[in-house]
Structure formats: structure tokens, C-alpha cells
């Protein structure tokens, strides 16, 4: 929702859009964006501020940016997860607000300008075909999208984290216990220890931060390192590889309600030392449920047989002869029985 560009620990971490002239009110690159030299304010017209001014009185964006990209080894404050990778702030909320007015426009901007990773520490629980198409456009342009899975403490889907092609992030304490208000469920791909993180804030201040907004830049920063270390990986390959670079934290989270719905916690050492192509990585692309008569539906009667068809893709090492074991993960009423559990 905006970032203070002059913060002492962020100013030297910003990517400069070379070839442009700052604050000349001209689209120097002929891409439809004015003065996007050190950042871009998509809400500029709403607030009558400069196109290149990404400052917001809300400190949320500045705190997210610090976890991701605060300058390393400068004898100031903290060090961001992404090392020497550069950040480029995109302001999506009008000045002084927490509105998500231009979230998906920022994803279009990232796609048009060839960014490799975009951090979305924001989301809502409304699905949109149009927004999924925006995600598809960005994915087709090799953008890796990482998004916060939500802070409602339940399994409801939050977007963009739940859109196809996006890496959804849950939030844990440093001891691997999921934070009480962190989302869990099918739209989580990974968990990161974002709670209680010390990071940057406006006016050269440092503060504690948390929520899935704090966990997400840990993941996007690590993903930036992966993409820098392995430029041969596509965006989806990098996401799938990072999804494998985790440690199982189920034993620390024994709740029956969350069983099977909490993915692994990110392990940065694995991400920068393992070979991405040492094993396959299978991910779900789509699914379809039909009745005995072949009618596609998602509602079924008592004692009715459901035929489930899954579309999966292997993003990494080639392999064949896979055996899938299917099981029921979350069914408090014990209403489902798997008739064919090995495929």
C-alpha cells in the first residue's frame, strides 16, 4: 500500500528504472506509466500526488519492504531476506487509507515491466474471473506471484493467494506454531515465521511486525534469491521448487481442524543449496467432479458416488510411474469415504 523511499535502510535497495527522468511528468518509456523511476504510485490521480511518490502514512508497506529488501551490511537497522536483490515499490492504496484500489493494476504493471517476483501482502475473500485472467497474464510473462493467505484464522479462500499460479503464504511463530489468526487450508502453499519480525517503518524508525503480511515477504525474498541463483527456472518452476524447500511442522500444530491443511515451513538453507532438478514436483492444476451419469457438479446426495478427475503437472525433474494415494483431509462429519485411494 506504499513505501517510504527515503528510509535509511531502504533507499539503497530500490531498483532504478534507468533511462528515465524523475519527476518530469512524462512517460519516458512509452509503456503508459509516468515518472516510474524509483517506484510508481497507481493512486496518484486519486490523491493529487506525484506518480513517483509511493509514501503512505500507513506504515504497512514500508514494514513489508524492510523484511524483503532492507539493505545488508550497511551498519544500519536490519538486513532484508533477499540480500542484494532490488525492490521496486508500487503504491496501490490512496494516501492515508488501506484500500486495495489498485492491487491488480500493480500486477499488470509488474508483468508489463518484466519483474521476476511480486510480493502481495494483501487480499480479499472475493473471487473474480477478471482478476484470475490478470494473474494468468502475469504468469504468462514469467512473473512469480507471492501473496498473503489471510488473517481470519480459518480456511476460507483469500485472493490473490487462492488464484491458480499464485504462491499463498501462512504465518507462524518462530517455534513453528501457526499464529492463531493465520489462514490455513487449500490456498496455502507454504508457511513462514513472520510474527514478531523486526523491520522498517516510516521516518527511519524500526518496529515489530507480523501477520501473513509479514510472512509473505520472507517467502518472496527467498524466491527472489532462488530466481537469481537459478535463472534457468521459470516462474512456476521456482515456486514449485521453493514449495519443496520446507520442513514439516504438523507435529507443532496438532489441531484436528487444521490436520492436513498446514503446508511446510520455509527452509531458506534448502532453497539456496538444493538442486531444483533432483526430484519431480507435482502440483494440482484443476479438478472436476461428476456423478455416475457423467454430469459435472459440486453437490451430491447421500450414498451417491463421486467421480473425481484431477489435472496435475510436473514442473521439475522428468519421471513416470507415479502412485497417488488419496485421502480425506477435512471432514468433521465423516461424510466421505474414498473408494479408490490409489491411482
Task: Supply the angle between the helices 211-229 and 60-69 in degrees, to the nearest 10.
Answer: 30
What pLDDT digit, counting tens, does each position of 15-25 carry?
Answer: 999 888 888 88
Sign of torsion over alpha carbons 53, 139, 315, 187: positive
User: Apex CA 160: angle with CA 240 and CA 281, to 5°?
Assistant: 10
- Say what the pLDDT of residue 28 is: 85
E strands, the chain, are 40-41, 90-91, 117-120, 144-148, 166-171, 190-192, 197-201, 205-209, 246-247, 265-266, 282-290, 307-314
Reported as a pLDDT band with limits 50, 70 and 90, residue 318 is confident
- The pLDDT mean for the chain works out to 93
- Comparing 4-18, 28-42, 107-121, 159-173, the range with the smallest average pLDDT is 28-42
Would you state the pLDDT for residue 302?
87
| pLDDT tens digit sequence for 74-129 | 999 999 999 999 999 999 998 777 788 999 999 999 999 999 999 999 999 999 99
Compare 321 and 142 and report the one with higher pLDDT. Answer: 142
- Checking if the pLDDT of 216 tops 90, the result is yes
Report residue 233 as a C-alpha cell. 527456472
Is residue 201 over pLDDT 90? yes
pLDDT surpassing 90 at residue 181:
yes
Whether the per-residue pLDDT at 217 is higher than 80: the answer is: yes
Distances from the Cα of 161 to the Cα of 76, 219, 289, 316, angstroms: 33, 13, 23, 22
Using the CB atoms, write b or e for 307-343: b if 16+ within 10 Å: eeeeeeeebbeeeeeeeeeeeeeeeeeeeeeeeeeee
pLDDT surpasses 90 at 285: no
Give the per-residue pLDDT at 125: 92
Inter-residue contact 63 to 198 (CB < 8 Å): no
| Per-residue pLDDT, 94 | 87
Q: Mean pLDDT throughout 143-159?
A: 96
pLDDT at 140: 98
pLDDT value of position 77:
96
pLDDT for 341: 87
Confidence (pLDDT) at 286:
87
Cis preceding linkage at 167, omega within 30: no
pLDDT band at residue 232 using 50, 70 and 90 as cut-offs: very high
User: Is residue 94 a contact partner of residue 81, using CB atoms and an 8 Å limit?
Assistant: no
Amino acid at each position: 500500500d506504499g513505501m517510504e523511499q527515503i528510509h535509511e535502510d531502504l533507499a539503497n535497495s530500490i531498483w532504478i528504472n534507468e533511462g528515465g527522468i524523475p519527476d518530469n511528468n512524462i512517460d519516458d518509456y512509452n509503456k503508459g506509466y509516468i515518472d516510474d523511476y524509483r517506484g510508481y504510485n497507481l493512486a496518484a490521480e486519486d490523491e493529487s500526488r506525484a506518480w513517483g511518490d509511493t509514501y503512505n502514512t500507513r506504515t504497512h508497506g514500508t514494514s513489508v519492504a524492510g523484511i524483503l529488501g532492507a539493505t545488508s551490511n550497511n551498519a544500519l537497522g536490519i538486513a532484508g531476506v533477499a540480500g542484494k536483490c532490488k525492490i521496486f515499490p508500487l503504491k496501490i492504496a490512496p494516501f492515508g487509507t488501506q484500500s486495495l484500489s489498485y492491487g491488480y493494476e500493480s500486477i499488470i504493471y509488474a508483468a508489463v515491466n518484466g519483474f521476476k517476483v511480486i510480493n502481495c501482502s494483501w487480499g480479499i475473500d472475493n473471487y473474480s474471473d477478471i482478476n484470475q485472467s490478470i494473474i494468468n497474464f502475469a504468469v504468462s510473462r514469467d512473473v512469480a506471484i507471492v501473496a498473503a493467505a489471510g488473517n481470519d484464522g480459518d480456511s476460507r479462500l483469500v485472493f490473490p493467494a487462492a488464484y491458480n499460479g499464485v504462491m499463498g503464504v501462512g504465518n507462524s511463530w518462530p517455534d513453528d506454531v501457526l499464529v492463531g489468526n493465520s489462514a490455513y487450508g487449500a490456498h496455502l502453499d507454504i508457511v513462514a515465521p513472520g510474527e514478531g519480525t523486526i523491520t522498517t517503518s516510516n521516518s527511519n524508525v524500526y518496529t515489530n511486525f507480523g501477520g501473513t503480511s509479514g510472512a509473505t515477504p520472507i517467502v518472496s525474498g527467498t524466491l527472489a534469491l532462488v530466481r537469481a541463483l537459478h535463472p534457468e527456472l521459470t516462474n512456476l518452476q521456482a515456486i514449485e521448487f521453493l514449495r519443496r524447500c520446507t520442513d514439516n511442522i504438523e507435529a507443532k500444530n496438532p489441531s484436528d481442524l487444521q490436520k492436513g491443511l498446514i503446508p511446510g515451513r520455509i527452509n531458506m538453507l534448502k532453497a539456496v543449496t538444493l538442486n531444483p532438478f533432483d526430484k519431480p514436483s507435482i502440483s494440482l492444476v484443476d479438478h472436476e467432479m461428476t456423478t455416475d451419469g457423467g454430469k459435472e457438479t459440486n453437490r451430491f446426495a447421500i450414498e451417491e458416488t463421486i467421480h473425481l478427475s484431477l489435472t496435475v503437472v510436473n514442473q521439475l525433474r522428468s519421471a513416470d510411474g507415479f502412485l497417488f494415494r488419496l485421502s480425506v483431509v477435512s471432514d468433521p462429519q465423516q461424510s466421505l469415504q474414498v473408494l479408490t485411494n490409489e491411482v
